[in-house]
Copies of this chain bind each other. A is one copy, B any other.
Amino acid sequence: MSSQAVTLADVAVEAGVHPSTVSRVLSRPQLIGEPTRTAVHAAIHKLVYTPNRAARQLAGGRVGAIGVLVPDITNPFFAHVVRSVQQGCRRNGLTMLLADTDQREADELSEARALAGSVDGFVVCSPVAATQQWLQVVGTAPLVFVNRRANGVASVALDQQAIIELGVTHLRAAGHRSIAVVRGPHSYWSSRERDRVVRRLPGLVTYGPVRPDFEAGIALATDLMRSNVTGVLAFNDVQALGIVAGYRAAGRSVPRDLSVVGSDDIADAAMSDPPLTTVAAPVQQLGDAAFDLLARLLAGAIERPEITLPVTLTVRASTLGRSSTSSTNSIATKGNHR
C-alpha cells in the first residue's frame, strides 16, 4: 500500500467538489473555473496527493511512463543517452522504465513485451530485432529507435558515413597507407551501415565483426600486431581502448606502432593512456532528440522523422606521430550533416 492512502476522492472531499472535478483539474485545467481550481490545488497540496498510476492507466488514460531499452547500461554511451532521456521525463512528469538487455539479443523483444502495456511509448537503443517484430510488440504505441534506421519507425542516429570518413581521412592525412576498419556485430544497424560506406572506399582492410567491448579489443590487438596495419578505426571507444591495452600489454606502443581512432568520445577517451583520438558523438543531443521525438509522437504527431546527428573528430595523442605531449585541446572538425 505504501503511503498511497490519499486518493482523488479524499482530495475531492477536502476541496468540497466532485471527484471528477479533481480529475479534470489534473488533466484539463482550462476546463474548470478559476476559484474551484485553486481550491482543488490547495487540497492536493495539503494532502500531498499523488495520483495512482495504475488506476490512471486502467481507466484508459495515459500511463505517464515510457520504456527505455539499452543493450548495456554500463556502456557510458548508453548511460548518457539514458540520462538525457530521463531528464526529459522529469521535465514532463514521466516515469522511465529501464530494461538492460545485457547484450542478449534474445531478451530484447521479451523485455519489450513485458513493458508494453505499462508504458506509453518506447525509446530503444541499438535494437537488433526485426522491425516487423518491434512494430508488433509495441502495437500502436509510439516507438523511437536510437542508432538504428528502420522503415516506418521514427529514429535518431549518428551519421555513420561521416564517422568512417572522418576517421579514415584523418588517418590518411597522418600518412597511413595500411588502414583497418573494425566492423561491429552484424546485428547492429550502425555496423551494417558502416560496412556499406567502407565498401565504397578503396584501400581499406576490415576486421571483424568484433564485439564492441574492452576484452574483444584486447583480443583484436593480437591480430592487428600480426598484420602490417598502422592505423585503425575501431567500432567504438571501448573497443579502441581495448586495442590500446592489448598493445601495451604486448609491449607495443600506441601511437608508435599503431594509430588508433575510436568512436563516441566517452569520458574515458580523454583520460586514457594515450588519450584517444575519436569521432565524437553528441550523446546529450542523441538522448534529447530521442525524447523530444517520442514526446511529439505521444502528443499525436504522425510524421516519423529519421533524424541524423552530425559527428566531429577529436584528435588526441593516439594518432599523433610520436609520444607527443597529450594535447588536451580537441581539434573539432564538422562532419557531414545530411
Contacts and interface: CB of A to CB of B under 8 A. Distances in A.
A162 to B, nearest CB: 24
Contact of A3 (B137, B245, B267, B274): B137
B116 A50 contact: yes
A267 B90 CA distance: 29
Interface in A45-78: 48, 50, 52-55, 57-58, 63, 65, 72-74, 76
A150 interface: no
A100 interface: yes
Nearest to A242: B271
Contacts of A83: 72-74, 100, 102
How many copies are assembled? 2
A299 interface: no
B97 A95 contact: yes
A274 B271 contact: no
B139 A4 contact: yes
A30 interface: no
Given A271-B272, A272-B272, A114 B102 contact: no
B140 A115 contact: no
A111 interface: yes
Interface in A114-131: 114-118
Contacts of A76: 74, 76, 79
Given A79-B74, A271-B268, A95 B107 contact: no
A98 interface: yes
The listed residue with most B CB atoms (<10 A of its CB), out of A74, A87, A99, A141, is: A74
A136 interface: yes
A328 interface: yes
A90 B73 CA distance: 14
A32 interface: no
A172 interface: no
A82 interface: yes
Interface in A1-48: 1-4, 48
Contacts of A140: 1-2
A20 to B, nearest CB: 18
The 6 closest A-B pairs by CB, nearest first: A273-B273, A2-B139, A3-B139, A54-B57, A98-B98, A54-B54
Given A96-B97, A245-B270, 15 more contacts: A1-B139, A3-B137, A3-B138, A3-B139, A50-B116, A55-B58, A82-B100, A83-B102, A86-B98, A90-B102, A95-B114, A96-B99, A97-B98, A249-B328, A272-B272
15 contacts: A1-B140, A2-B116, A2-B138, A2-B141, A3-B136, A50-B116, A52-B117, A53-B54, A54-B57, A54-B118, A73-B83, A74-B80, A95-B115, A97-B98, A273-B274
